[in-house]
Amino acid sequence: MKKHKAYESFLEREHQEKEEFGLTRRDFMKAAVATGLLTATTVLMEPITYQRGTYAAEKKLPAEYWQIASRYGEPKGGFGKPGDPVKITIGYQPYCLQCQTANITKQAKLWMKYLPKGSKVEWFRSLSGPLINNNMLAGKNMFGYMCDTPGLRCMETVEAITGCTGGYDTGEHGAMVVRKDLWDSGKVKSVKDLDGQKIGTPLGSFSHRQSLDIIDEFKIRPRLLDQSTELQVTHMRAKNIAACVTWEPYPSYLEYLGIGYRIVTGLEMKCTCSKYYPVKVPHNWITMNTTLMVQPWLRDRPDVMVGFLQAEEEARDMWNNDINLAAYYIWSDIPEFPQSVVRMTLEMNIPDGRASKNSLEHLKGIAIQWRTVKILSTQHSVDPPKLIDNFVDDRFYELACKEIREQGFWTSHKLPGFPVKLRENQKHRQNIKDYKDVRLKPAPWKQTKVKWA
């Protein structure tokens, strides 16, 4: 593969960082595994009512299911036969905007509508993707929700497929947040004033990728410290760090608390994917979700895989068509965050499950970037674009959506697609003042009826 000039500068920076900090990007994933867990109070509620008898897991499976599943080998019957109840464990990040269709699916109990009667789902809460990656590798999680950076690492290390992309953000999902006292006093007036300062970011996350891209774009040399999202809040409050780079809802929460100011978001940056791969549609700095599914379950229980993807798509329906109710269910899973913050952040994301040509180009650019700095290092990623072609397989997702459309309900296919923003207000930063009067509450939910040609 012909090296881009940006590759060489990236490698040079890695060498410089090793000399200065004793840490290379090769260590990102090992460091991120040490991230702790956070347990929050959960608001209990009754599942949404539904009619049984119309979903994939309760029918005799068509040949198309097994044709797709055959890519992963002959069924071994280790997880029961189609229609049998199952027990699955799902790794998700309740405090990560990109992954919060999982919060909706969990809290609204949408999965009960689509999985075989008697099934059970355990939800493994994590603060970051690498820990879920490890659980999938150990066979503890059948599904995993991660942003694009740890998702790529998972695809090359675990027998897992990205079954749908989950969605993409407007650019506001990721942000550099400077301490409010430094901003108000004028000690920090721009990103360049953070040169040499301590900045916290979770190593191995997409936020670390954004940190490195900010360093590259603004030509600064801060001291990057490995800090989980909760540690960032603690150290920002204690004034131990000058800034942090993290994901929503934390940047908005820091502003809400009066601790931080979002000095840079992805809206003000160009996405680096185009530096490494020729993308058809250049765009601002964007991150995507990857919903990962382990191959043994894809092989043996396609009914469960399709059923869960249908539940996920209904969660996206709610997010797109009843955003206040979606915000309520997300807030009910993370009630320590103010309702106004939760509601505001939902405007920063476009829940679109499709793996389109444009979104795959974006992933290929990121894959090349991480292979260049040796974060992606296995045989699977020798050709990074091929990694994406081989391990993003949305055929079960498309089958799930086809069945939903046949019933006359909404799917992501009604959206304009990556990287297009849906509403005018998504082209600029959200302001918490616009959401101060938000009062989220439960309400009846019905899938959105639409006409399909």
Query: CATH number, domain at 258?
Result: 3.40.190.10
Q: Same structural domain for residues 187 and 331?
A: no
Q: Considering the domain boundaries, does residue 254 fall inside one?
A: yes
Q: Same structural domain for residues 97 and 191?
A: no
- What pLDDT, on the 0 to 100 scale, is given for residue 37? 28
Low-confidence stretches of the chain (pLDDT beneath 70) = 1-59
Each residue's pLDDT tens digit, 6-64: 434 434 544 543 444 343 333 433 333 333 222 233 333 444 443 444 455 556 788 89
Question: Last residue of a domain, which of 261, 276, 291?
Answer: 276
- What pLDDT, on the 0 to 100 scale, is given for residue 12? 53
8 A C-beta contact, residue 160 and residue 220: no
Q: Same structural domain for residues 19 and 90?
A: no
pTM of the model: 0.86
Q: Same structural domain for residues 11 and 155?
A: no
Question: Last residue of a domain, which of 276, 302, 336?
Answer: 276
Q: Same structural domain for residues 258 and 347?
A: no
Question: Last residue of a domain, which of 276, 307, 323?
Answer: 276
Q: Considering the domain boundaries, does residue 40 fall inside one?
A: no
Q: Same structural domain for residues 164 and 192?
A: no
Nearest to 205 by CA among 247, 155, 260: 247
Domain of residue 181, residue span: 5-24+172-276
Q: Which amino acid is it at 106?
A: K
**Beta strands 120-125 and 260-265: pairing type?**
unpaired
Q: Same structural domain for residues 10 and 131?
A: no
Q: Considering the domain boundaries, does residue 379 fall inside one?
A: yes
Each residue's pLDDT tens digit, 313-347: 999 999 999 999 999 999 999 999 999 999 999 99
Q: Same structural domain for residues 356 and 398?
A: yes
**In the chain, what's the furthest Cα-to-Cα distance?**
67
Q: Considering the domain boundaries, does residue 146 fall inside one?
A: yes
Q: For residues 83 and 69, what is the distance between their CA atoms, to the nearest angstrom? A: 16
**Beta strands 198-201 and 223-226: pairing type?**
parallel
- What pLDDT, on the 0 to 100 scale, is given for residue 57? 57
Q: Considering the domain boundaries, does residue 447 fall inside one?
A: no
Q: Same structural domain for residues 189 and 164?
A: no
Query: How many domains does the chain contain in total?
Result: 2
Query: Is residue 112 packed enough to be buried (19+ CB in 10 Å), middle (13-18) or exposed (0-12)?
Result: middle
- What pLDDT, on the 0 to 100 scale, is given for residue 18? 46
Q: Considering the domain boundaries, does residue 38 fall inside one?
A: no
Q: Same structural domain for residues 287 and 345?
A: yes
Q: Same structural domain for residues 222 and 158?
A: no
Q: Considering the domain boundaries, does residue 383 fall inside one?
A: yes
Q: Considering the domain boundaries, does residue 426 fall inside one?
A: yes
- For the record, the structure tokens of 452 come out as 């399909």
Q: Where do runs of H (alpha helix) occur along 26-80?
A: 28-32, 63-69
